[in-house]
Amino acid sequence: MYVRHLQVTDFRSWEHADLVFEPGVSVLVGRNGQGKTNLVEALGYVATLGSHRVATDAPLIRHGASRAVVRTAVVNEGRELLVELEITPGKANRARINRGPVPRPRDVLGILRTVLFAPEDLALVRGDPGERRRLLDELLTTRAPRYAGVRSDYERVLKQRGALLKSVRASRNADISTLDVWDGHLARHGAELLAARLDLVADIAPHVAAAYAEVAPESRPARIAYRSSLGEAFPEAHDREVLEDALLAELHRVRGQEIERGVCLVGPHRDDLDLALGDLPAKGYASHGESWSFALALRLGGYELLRVEGAEPVLVLDDVFAELDRGRRRQLAKVAAGAEQVLITAAVAEDVPEELDGLRFDVRDGEVRRV
Partner 1 sequence: MYEGPVQDLIDELGRLPGVGPKSAQRIAFHLLAADPADIGRLQDALQKVKEGVVFCDVCGNVSAEATCRICRDPRRDLTLICVVEEPKDVLAVERTREFKGRYHVLGGALDPLSGVGPDQLRIRQLLTRIGTDVSEIIIATDPNTEGEATATYLVRMLRDFPGLTVTRLASGLPMGGDLEFADELTLGRALSGRRSM
Best CA proximity match to 22, nearest among 302, 304, 314: 314
CB of 317 to partner 1, least distance (A): 31
Using CB under 8 A as the binding rule, whether residue 178 contacts partner 1 is answered as yes
Single out the segment in contact with partner 1 by CB under 8 A; choices: 56-64, 77-85, 157-165, 260-268.
Answer: 157-165
With a CB cutoff of 8 Å and minimum separation 6, the contacts of 239 are 195
Single out the segment in contact with partner 1 by CB under 8 A; choices: 49-57, 161-169, 236-244, 262-270.
Answer: 161-169
CB 217 within 8 A of CB 225: no
CB of 146 to partner 1, least distance (A): 4
Query: How many residues in the shown chain lie near partner 1 by CB under 8 A?
Result: 25
CA atoms within 13 A on the CB side of 192: 16
With a CB cutoff of 8 Å and minimum separation 6, the contacts of 343 are 3, 21, 26, 28, 40, 43, 314, 315, 316, 317
Using CB under 8 A as the binding rule, whether residue 323 contacts partner 1 is answered as no
Q: Cβ closer to partner 1: 79 or 326?
A: 79
Best CA proximity match to 215, nearest among 121, 325, 308: 325
Using CB under 8 A as the binding rule, whether residue 185 contacts partner 1 is answered as yes
CB 43 within 8 A of CB 112: yes
Q: Cβ closer to partner 1: 82 or 102?
A: 102
Best CA proximity match to 90, nearest among 60, 58, 52: 58
CB of 150 to partner 1, least distance (A): 8
CB of 185 to partner 1, least distance (A): 6
Single out the segment in contact with partner 1 by CB under 8 A; choices: 48-56, 172-180, 252-260, 350-358.
Answer: 172-180
Single out the segment in contact with partner 1 by CB under 8 A; choices: 149-157, 213-221, 240-248, 344-352.
Answer: 149-157
Which residues would be at the binding site for partner 1 (CB under 8 A)?
Answer: 103-104, 106-107, 145-146, 149, 153, 156-157, 159-161, 163-164, 167, 174-175, 177-178, 180-182, 184-185
